Amino acid sequence: AQSVTQLDSQVPVFEEAPVELRCNYSSSVSVYLFWYVQYPNQGLQLLLKYLSGSTLVESINGFEAEFNKSQTSFHLRKPSVHISDTAEYFCAVSAFRGKNFNKFYFGSGTKLNVKP
Amino acid sequence: DTAVSQTPKYLVTQMGNDKSIKCEQNLGHDTMYWYKQDSKKFLKIMFSYNNKELIINETVPNRFSPKSPDKAHLNLHINSLELGDSAVYFCASRLLGGELFFGEGSRLTVL
B34-78: pLDDT as tens digits:
999 999 999 999 999 988 888 888 878 999 999 999 999 999 999
Report the residue of chain A nearest B43, measured CA to CA.
A106
| CA distance linking residue B47 with residue A88, whole number of Å | 23
Number of H helices, E strands in chain A: 0, 12
pLDDT tens profile A48-107: 999 888 899 999 889 999 999 999 999 999 999 999 999 999 999 988 776 667 788 999
Taking the Cβ of residue B40 and every Cβ of chain A, the question of whether any pair is shorter than 8 Å is answered with yes
pLDDT of amino acid B1: 66
Tens digit of pLDDT for each residue in A13-62? Answer: 999 999 999 999 998 888 899 999 999 889 999 999 998 888 999 998 89
What is the spatial distance between Cα B38 and Cα B60, in angstroms, rounded to a whole number? Answer: 14
pLDDT at A99: 66
| Chain A hits for B42, Cβ within 8 Å | 106, 108-109
Q: Are the CB atoms for A75 and A21 separated by under 8 Å?
A: yes
B103 touches chain A (CB under 8 A): yes
Q: Does B55 touch chain A (CB under 8 A)?
A: yes
Choose between B110 and A98: higher pLDDT.
B110
Q: What is the average per-residue pLDDT within B81-86?
A: 96
Mutant choice from B99, B104, B106, B109 vs A, greatest count of A C-beta within 10 A: B99
Confidence of residue B10 (pLDDT cuts 50, 70, 90): very high
CB contacts, 8 Å: A46 with chain B: 99-101
Those residues whose C-beta lies under 8 Å from the C-beta of residue B78, and which sit 6 or more positions away, are B18, B19, B20, B21, B63, B64, B65, B85, B108
